[in-house]
């Protein structure tokens, strides 16, 4: 498996523009997570999905942020309009349901390489 | 809510020596998991080691081991025979059992291994 795939790896945009970050989880994983990493706040969970359904979006900073998971192999995180304070590294991670007896890495979250977003 | 605290923002160690990174957490849960993640300059998050709270035996992965003190809510990482490639940010993380695999991270410790 190629692991969690994120695109783009780097994004530079101007304030007010729409930004869309993309994630492809590991095949067979039923949990997907979006994290944001900044110097000031560290690693924060923004939202997570289980079986494509958003379960907890309490970490989403404000209405400018939205996330979707239209199918098991794809998720997007959208910021509209973007602001300079949104500049951060955004990680996507996936994992499988605890208790699956055949899975050797229960509970482990596998992270993508991250998207470094810069809003000017 | 759970909190994870890493009290050492930065540490350094000489190559081949041993270093211990500290982590404490606060929770009322009895079923949970603890993790140490490594983030090298490439920024990729890499799982180093994991510990199930119900296991009394400390986890070990090659040169990496933990000292899990459940009553004290302490979860330190020991790196033996430090190598230059161990230079990275290290994050301690907490996950509640049976609660959706959500991770709560500590603030991180920047480790520098010196030649």
Residue A108: band (very low, low, confident or very high) from pLDDT cuts 50, 70, 90: confident
If pLDDT is split at 50, 70 and 90, which confidence band does B1 have? Answer: confident
Is the model's pLDDT at A99 over the cut of 60?
Answer: no
pLDDT mean across residues, chain B: 93
Residue found by looking up tokens 């969970």 in the block: A45
A107 close contact with B: CB closer than 8 A? yes
| Residue of B1, B45, B59 to mutate, interface with A, max A Cβ within 10 Å | B45
Residue A106 has a pLDDT of: 61
Query: Is any Cβ of chain A less than 8 angstroms from the Cβ of B66?
Result: no
Q: Decide if A45 and B102 are in contact by the 8 Å CB cutoff.
A: yes
The residue among B91, B73, B90, B92 whose CA lies nearest residue B25 is B73
* Nearest neighbour of B44 by CB, restricted to A42, A48, A111: A111
Q: Please identify among residues 10-39 of chain A the ones whose CB lies closer than 8 Å to any CB of chain B.
A: 31, 33
Nearest-CA distance from B98 to chain A in Å?
7
pLDDT of residue B51: 93
**Is B111 within 8 Å of B37 (Cβ atoms)?**
no
Neighbours of A116 (CB within 10 A): 16
Q: Quick one: pLDDT band at residue A100, thresholds 50, 70, 90?
A: very low
Q: Give dist(CA A65, CA A49) in Å, integer.
A: 15
């Amino acid at each position: 498996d190629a692991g969690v795939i994120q695109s783009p790896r780097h994004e530079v945009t101007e304030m007010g523009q729409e930004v869309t970050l993309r994630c492809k989880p590991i095949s067979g994983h039923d949990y997907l997570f979006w994290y944001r990493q900044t110097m000031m706040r560290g690693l924060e969970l923004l939202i997570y999905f289980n079986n494509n359904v958003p379960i907890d979006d309490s970490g989403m900073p404000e209405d400018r942020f939205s996330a979707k998971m239209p199918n098991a192999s794809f998720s997007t995180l959208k910021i509209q309009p973007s602001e300079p304070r949104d500049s951060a590294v955004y990680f996507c991670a996936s994992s499988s349901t605890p208790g699956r007896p055949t899975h050797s890495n229960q509970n482990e979250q596998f992270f993508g390489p991250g998207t470094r977003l810069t809003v000017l | 809510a759970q909190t994870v605290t890493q009290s050492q923002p930065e540490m350094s160690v000489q190559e081949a020596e041993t270093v211990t990174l500290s982590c404490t957490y606060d929770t009322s849960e009895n079923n949970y998991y603890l993790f140490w993640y490594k983030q090298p300059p490439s920024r990729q998050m890499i799982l180093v080691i994991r510990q199930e709270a119900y296991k009394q035996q400390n986890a070990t992965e090659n040169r990496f081991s933990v000292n899990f003190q459940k009553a004290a809510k302490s979860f330190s990482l020991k790196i033996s025979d430090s190598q230059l490639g161990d230079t990275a940010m290290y994050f301690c993380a907490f996950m509640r059992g049976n609660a959706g695999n959500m991770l709560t991270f500590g603030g991180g410790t920047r480790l520098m291994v010196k030649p």
